[in-house]
Amino acid sequence: MNLPQLPIVMPPADFPIHIPEMMHPLVVHFVVALPFIIILLELINLFAKKRSIGVISFVLLLLLSGIIYAALLTGLADAKAIETTLGADAKALLTQHKLYGVYLFYASILLVIFKLLAVMIRGTATRVLMLILLILFAAGTLATAKRGGELVYRYAAHVHTPAAAPAPVKAPAQKVEPAAASEAEEMKSQAVESSTEKTEAAETVTETTPAAESTPAIAADKASAGETPSDEGKSTEKNTSN
């Protein structure tokens, strides 16, 4: 249901104070909740008929008018910030949402006036009529809130996408200079040569060891045969004398 765009006067919205953005969602929740609280109080007072309940209902109606005005101001501030970023359909829906908010503001003032009349008349019929008007007003607040929700969830109005995380920077590969490469190869060849020399030295030691060990073995064989070095000398002298 779309309300007709009547030639109504916008409430004053130009103030020297700065209205911060993103305050509208905080205020509109009270606009939606308060009418149902007032309806509950009026329903109780329809049977209780207590003056104190009527006074509380009247004070809450005054508070509701002020909160709707604050919601209208904060909504206009948000609309200025996002109007240039919306498409044609979103702008049309934003216009409807703004129009509904203006109607709600003037309707809340009419409810305050009618509540004063109901307090002065003090009749059951006026209480029932006040209750019906409040139910219609609550339905209007839900219709207005529905259009505001469509602006956010369907058209992403005033929704800031998080910035993409920067890609990890890879460290540049270190280039090996030719001189450094040649030095590394030379050191590697020296290491190979030194290991080869050590291997050859080990083999030489193993080859000389059996020869050294054979000399004591020959001496042991001669001793077992009963020969001594002196006998060998004597036999040599006899051979020379003969």
pLDDT digits (tens, 9 = 90+) for 216-234: 445 445 455 454 445 544 4
Asked whether 101 and 70 are in contact (CB, 8 A), the reply is no
Asked whether 114 and 127 are in contact (CB, 8 A), the reply is no
Residue 131, classified by CB atoms within 10 Å of its CB into exposed (0-12), middle (13-18) or buried (19+), is: middle
Task: Report the range of poorest mean pLDDT among 6-15, 34-43, 133-142.
Answer: 6-15
Going from N- to C-terminal start, the domains of the chain cover 24-153, 194-237
Q: Name, of 7-11, 36-40, 215-219, the range with top average pLDDT.
A: 36-40
Give the type of residue at 136. L
Asked whether 61 and 111 are in contact (CB, 8 A), the reply is yes
Res 62: pLDDT? 96
pLDDT digits (tens, 9 = 90+) for 193-216: 666 666 666 666 555 544 444 444
Q: How confident is the model at residue 106 (pLDDT cuts 50, 70, 90)?
A: very high
Whether residue 54 is predicted with pLDDT greater than 60 in this model: the reply is: yes
Task: Report the range of poorest mean pLDDT among 46-55, 63-72, 195-204.
Answer: 195-204
Q: For the chain, give the mean pLDDT.
A: 76
Q: How confident is the model at residue 57 (pLDDT cuts 50, 70, 90)?
A: very high
Res 173: pLDDT? 53
Answer positive or negative: Cα dihedral of 138, 144, 150, 156: negative
In angstroms, rounded to a whole number, what is the distance separating the alpha carbons of residues 137 and 124? 20
Task: Write out the DSSP string of 80-114.
Answer: HHHGGG--HHHHHHHHHHHHHHHHHHHHHHHHHHH
